[in-house]
Structure 1
Amino acid sequence: MTLRRTLGPVQLTMLGVGSTIGAGIYVMTGTAAANYAGPAIVLSFMLAGLACLFTAFSYGELAAAMPVSGSAYGYARLSFGRAGAWWVGWLLLLEYGISCSGVAAGFSGYATSLLADFGVMVPDWLHTTMLQTVTSASTMHVTFSPRLDLIGAACVLLVTFLLMLGVQESARINTAIVLLKVGVLFVFVAVGIPAIHPALWHPFIPPYEGGFRYGVPGIFRAASVIFFAYVGFEVVSTASPEARNPKRDVPIGIIVSLILSTVIYLCVALVLMGVVPWRTLDVADPLALAVDAIGWPSLVLLVKLGAVIGLCSVVFGLLYGQSRIFFTMARDRLLPAFFCTLHPRYRTPTHGTLVLGTIVALATALLPIDIISDLVSLGTATAFAAVNLTAIIDRNRRPDAPRPFRMPSASVQIKGMTIGIIPTLGIFFSMVMVFPLVSDMLLGLFTGNPTSAILLLVYLSCGAGIFRFFGRRHA
């Protein structure tokens, strides 16, 4: 039994846009601007978008040349072997699965705010994570509380149920949601432009305050945070087994969805920084705060409703991508067989999707978005570097292989090996995204905040254990 090929270029592009535009623009833009970059968050978006563009070309070429399931995991399996592919797949769980928790946290914030507008006050213990972060001038501290974000967890479980029903049916719903979400953002930009106060853009790069707070270091740190905002465009590559013409449509979906998302991000960020003082934006619903400042009460409800519905489409795309990666890994016997068992009627991996959704729902209830975004950005940048490296290796191993889509082929020769300029730049910028994250994690070890580093170590240890005691024995 195989997956159904039902997705065309429009549905694939909508899948990419729907998976990308989410908590990054609705939540993390305000946090990154207030704590790191100020109005220069626009430059951070450009930097992160540029890093992703190089990787998008590599994804497009690999998806056309090797229309296999599993996204970066599938490409790594052909280039790096079983062990290397396992680690790429395990890091992709950070990129797709855990990032889904961050998106659901954004859903929880906007949903709670929207309900409050209608007089329904949700208790804190229903929409607050067990771990909470407190950011000071130079450090971030983590506190514990007897609370769970059950609103965000419920969003994850609802989308999990929809995915279990079938991709084509869910894709139709997702396309409608994406159009609504993008439409709301365009309305926000159109209404916000006349309300811009250019004085709020000055100084465009705030004076440096030490560490990664403001100045040029702050731009790079903010870029590493909002790198989280670009997670999703490559979800299109996981849809190859369900695309009608994967060699043509998948590269189109990847690159077009990234370009559309980047343009939308830049427009929204410019308006947001020009409407509200950037130091006030470290809130759960910065766009709603900006609309309040504009003075359109009815638009506040529209923005919040668009965020609530739109963030569901991101959860859909990310859970879809991760379930298909686990489907492929289970088919290769690196994970238990139930991850690749298809429902006889819907022909979807229902058991694996349910297990994955439950894990993501638990992470949503427990972890704050600050920690999630750092872990996701780290996993994403590492996976992107692996994809670019795979593109270089594949060009050298199979120089004459048919490539329906080819990235611009500028390259240099080093010891008989052809090194493509674009994938090399993709690796370089991915490492640029990683450096501030790793620096902050190491700093946290010496300033009394080792939480992120400990979570990462535990996560990597779990990956090593699963591969050692299951994957290596059964593959």
Structure 2
Amino acid sequence: MGNLFAKKSMNKMMAEANEHGVDTLERVLGPVQLTALGIGAVIGAGIFVLSGLGARTAGPSLMLAFVLSGLGCAFAGLCYAEFAAMIPLAGSAYTYAYATLGELIAWIIGWDLTLEYAMGASTVSSGWSNNFVEMLNIFHLKFPLWLAYDHWTGLRQATDMVARGMVLSSHPGMVPGTPAFSDAMDALKAAHPPELVTQAHALLNAPHLFGVEIGINVPAFLIALVITAVLVVGIKESAKFNATIVAIKVGIVLFVLGLGSHYITKSNWGTDWHSFAPFGVGGIGLAAGLVFFSYIGFDAVSTTAQEAKNPQRDLPIGIIVSLSICTLLYIGVAAVLTGMVPWREVNIEAPISRAFLDHNLAWASNVVTIGALAGLTSVMLVMLLGQSRVLYSMAHDGLLPKKFFGDIHHKFRTPWKGTILAGLLAAIVGSITPIDDIGKMVNIGTLLAFVIVCIAVIVLRRTDPDRARPFRTPWVPVVPALGILFNGYMMYKLGIWNWVRLVVWLIIGLVVYFTYSRKHSTLQQSLEAKESVEIK
């Protein structure tokens, strides 16, 4: 059992980081590209998708939810920066745990990161599809509901559309978008009249497979495959593609802040604490756990450590600068969104676009929709990039099949097989699973990774205090302890079912570890060989 917690030598890791050859990654990324990768992953889902879900959970205090999430990420980000500069390998939190907490914990984190990145890309592909459908509406093109959403989301959309028409016909003077209209819609859907159900299914008009109504999010499936192809072609090309998209979407976010600030109604923020935070501190904590997904991205920067020109200097810059910029933008957009639209009426699927539509700014809504498409595209790119690099690192340690996940394409110099597998997984899950369910799963997995990285910094400061640290996390152990506290609290607020999903996922991972990974681990094999020599 002692070997389960065997640690990988820091000296061996540094030697691996300095290796060159046909089976190693190419060092081509500088601080600007790394910061752009961080912004590319962070700005997207939080603003253009999950801000709507967060507003329904926290009300106007969504601003504080982003502050809480941002603090948790800031504390973890400082810990990531220390490790990224000290151990410039592609495995991110997996590699850091291997050096400090042992192989079994490293495996758990690596398996957990698979949940973060692949499922994160699935969530974003689903959000991308929502905005793609909105863009088609700009040109008066209709996409069949059962091909634009997974079955559950498509049925919900159809139900909302039918309910809206029924409320308007029964209350001709009622104005859509008002609190009274929203209450009437909620009451009708809660009553669940047979005609509502019948008309919703008729509008969905979905085919049946073995007697079961089906729905497939085709745009989500296709965009995941396109991004996968870009990543296979090469890291240079992927970085250029990402930088272009980042410039577009940051411009769109500044546009939202500038124009949206002119349509803020201060009363929408509430007149007292109760109206500002209708669900209290608990609601803020829950929303922080939900919108935490918005910040996933800065840790993906650390997965490109073996492709950074000067990782000791540039990785901390990429992590900290991207996180700082994105936190300020998120808080600003949360304030504008909840100021433009009463929190009960914020649209969950495309909150920013619909907010401008509510103010008869169709042209602005169109700009935001196009910006959201660009933003979510880069998020998927960085998520799938991070996933393939973690799989590559695990494969080089023998915990996954090296011939598959560690295989570098002779021309493109990318781990192409692992990239294709991760992309296919994201495409399939994103096309058949509701966005809110995937998002919650991703959040709890990422929070666990952050907690373990914070623990690892404290451990390594005690076990190897003299190790050279190009970047040092300030105020250890206070900063890592705060990271554990903040991120642990957000994990707690995500609820029992998300814990159940996480435990089930980790149990599956342990089965894989004990049936395959432990037997093929290069570290375990070297330890066994050493013990055999000592016995002889």
> Do they fold alike, i.e. is TM over 0.5?
yes
Match for residue 45 of structure 1 among 45, 66, 79: 66
Q: Does 1:200 align with 2:263?
A: no
Match of 1:129?
150
Please report how far the alpha carbon of residue 295 of structure 1 lies from its aligned counterpart in structure 2 after TM superposition. 3.2
Q: Does 1:400 align with 2:472?
A: no
Please report how far the alpha carbon of residue 19 of structure 1 lies from its aligned counterpart in structure 2 after TM superposition. 0.6
Residues 395 and 280 of structure 1, relative CA distance in 2, 3 Å threshold:
same
Match of 1:449?
none
Q: Does 1:223 align with 2:288?
A: yes
| Whole-Å separation in 1 of the counterparts to 2:112 and 2:132 | 30
| Whole-Å separation in 1 of the counterparts to 2:499 and 2:215 | 23
Please report how far the alpha carbon of residue 131 of structure 1 lies from its aligned counterpart in structure 2 after TM superposition. 4.6
- Between 459-468 and 88-97, report the one with greater CA deviation: 459-468
Match for residue 511 of structure 2 among 448, 465, 470: 465
Q: Does 1:149 align with 2:217?
A: yes
| Amino acid across the alignment from 1:393 | V
Match of 1:172?
240
| Whole-Å separation in 2 of the counterparts to 1:269 and 1:24 | 10
Deviations 1:93-130 (A, max 9, x none): 12211111111111000000110121111111112114
Residues 204 and 26 of structure 1, relative CA distance in 2, 3 Å threshold:
farther
| Whole-Å separation in 2 of the counterparts to 1:82 and 1:20 | 29
Match for residue 159 of structure 1 among 214, 217, 227: 227
Runs ≥4 residues deviating over 2 A: 130-137, 203-209, 293-297, 452-462
Q: Is the 8 A contact 2:44 2:375 kept in 1?
A: yes
Match of 1:291?
356
Q: Does 1:322 align with 2:379?
A: no
Please report how far the alpha carbon of residue 294 of structure 1 lies from its aligned counterpart in structure 2 after TM superposition. 3.5
Match of 2:182?
none
Q: Does 1:6 align with 2:50?
A: no
Q: Does 1:115 align with 2:115?
A: no
Q: Which has the larger radius of gyration?
A: 2
Residues 22-421 of structure 1: matches in 2 within 5 Å?
22-34=44-56, 36-132=57-153, 145-203=213-271, 205-206=273-274, 214-337=279-402, 338-408=404-474, 410-411=475-476, 420-421=477-478
Q: Is the 8 A contact 1:4 1:242 kept in 2?
A: yes
Q: Is the 8 A contact 1:40 1:205 kept in 2?
A: no
Residues 7 and 282 of structure 1, relative CA distance in 2, 3 Å threshold:
same
Match of 1:447?
none
Match of 1:429?
486
| Amino acid across the alignment from 2:492 | F
| Whole-Å separation in 1 of the counterparts to 2:347 and 2:283 | 15
Residues 299 and 282 of structure 1, relative CA distance in 2, 3 Å threshold:
closer
| Whole-Å separation in 2 of the counterparts to 1:151 and 1:55 | 34
Q: Is the 8 A contact 2:59 2:276 kept in 1?
A: no
Q: Is the 8 A contact 1:39 1:205 kept in 2?
A: no
| Whole-Å separation in 2 of the counterparts to 1:255 and 1:29 | 23
Residues 145 and 214 of structure 1, relative CA distance in 2, 3 Å threshold:
farther
Please report how far the alpha carbon of residue 207 of structure 1 lies from its aligned counterpart in structure 2 after TM superposition. 5.7
Please report how far the alpha carbon of residue 240 of structure 1 lies from its aligned counterpart in structure 2 after TM superposition. 0.7
| Whole-Å separation in 2 of the counterparts to 1:398 and 1:223 | 34
Residues 177 and 194 of structure 1, relative CA distance in 2, 3 Å threshold:
same
Please report how far the alpha carbon of residue 208 of structure 1 lies from its aligned counterpart in structure 2 after TM superposition. 11
Q: Is the 8 A contact 1:205 1:216 kept in 2?
A: no
Residues 206 and 155 of structure 1, relative CA distance in 2, 3 Å threshold:
farther
Equivalent position SS for 1:16: helix
| Whole-Å separation in 1 of the counterparts to 2:411 and 2:151 | 39
| Amino acid across the alignment from 2:145 | D
* Unaligned stretches of 5+ residues in structure 1: 412-419, 442-451
Match of 1:446?
none
| Whole-Å separation in 2 of the counterparts to 1:191 and 1:22 | 19
| Whole-Å separation in 1 of the counterparts to 2:61 and 2:491 | 19
Deviations 1:280-301 (A, max 9, x none): 1143111001111333322211
Equivalent position SS for 2:303: helix
Residues 130 and 335 of structure 1, relative CA distance in 2, 3 Å threshold:
farther
Q: Is the 8 A contact 2:356 2:364 kept in 1?
A: yes
Q: CA RMSD in A?
A: 2.1
Q: Is the 8 A contact 1:20 1:232 kept in 2?
A: yes
Please report how far the alpha carbon of residue 358 of structure 1 lies from its aligned counterpart in structure 2 after TM superposition. 0.7
Please report how far the alpha carbon of residue 170 of structure 1 lies from its aligned counterpart in structure 2 after TM superposition. 1.1
- Between 246-255 and 462-471, report the one with greater CA deviation: 462-471
Q: Is the 8 A contact 2:85 2:469 kept in 1?
A: yes
Equivalent position SS for 1:362: helix
Q: Is the 8 A contact 1:107 1:152 kept in 2?
A: yes
Residues 222 and 194 of structure 1, relative CA distance in 2, 3 Å threshold:
same
Please report how far the alpha carbon of residue 175 of structure 1 lies from its aligned counterpart in structure 2 after TM superposition. 0.2
* Unaligned stretches of 5+ residues in structure 2: 1-21, 161-185, 191-211, 522-536
Equivalent position SS for 2:99: helix
TM-score by length of 2: 0.80
Q: Is the 8 A contact 2:269 2:275 kept in 1?
A: no
Match of 1:474?
520
Length, aligned pairs only:
447
- Between 9-18 and 194-203, report the one with greater CA deviation: 194-203
Deviations 1:186-223 (A, max 9, x none): 011101111111011114654699xxx72221111000
Residues 386 and 263 of structure 1, relative CA distance in 2, 3 Å threshold:
same
Residues 105 and 460 of structure 1, relative CA distance in 2, 3 Å threshold:
same
| Whole-Å separation in 2 of the counterparts to 1:206 and 1:153 | 42
Please report how far the alpha carbon of residue 250 of structure 1 lies from its aligned counterpart in structure 2 after TM superposition. 0.2
| Amino acid across the alignment from 2:513 | F
Match of 1:444?
none
| Amino acid across the alignment from 2:36 | M
Please report how far the alpha carbon of residue 23 of structure 1 lies from its aligned counterpart in structure 2 after TM superposition. 1.2
Equivalent position SS for 1:359: helix
Q: Is the 8 A contact 1:104 1:311 kept in 2?
A: yes
- Between 292-301 and 83-92, report the one with greater CA deviation: 292-301
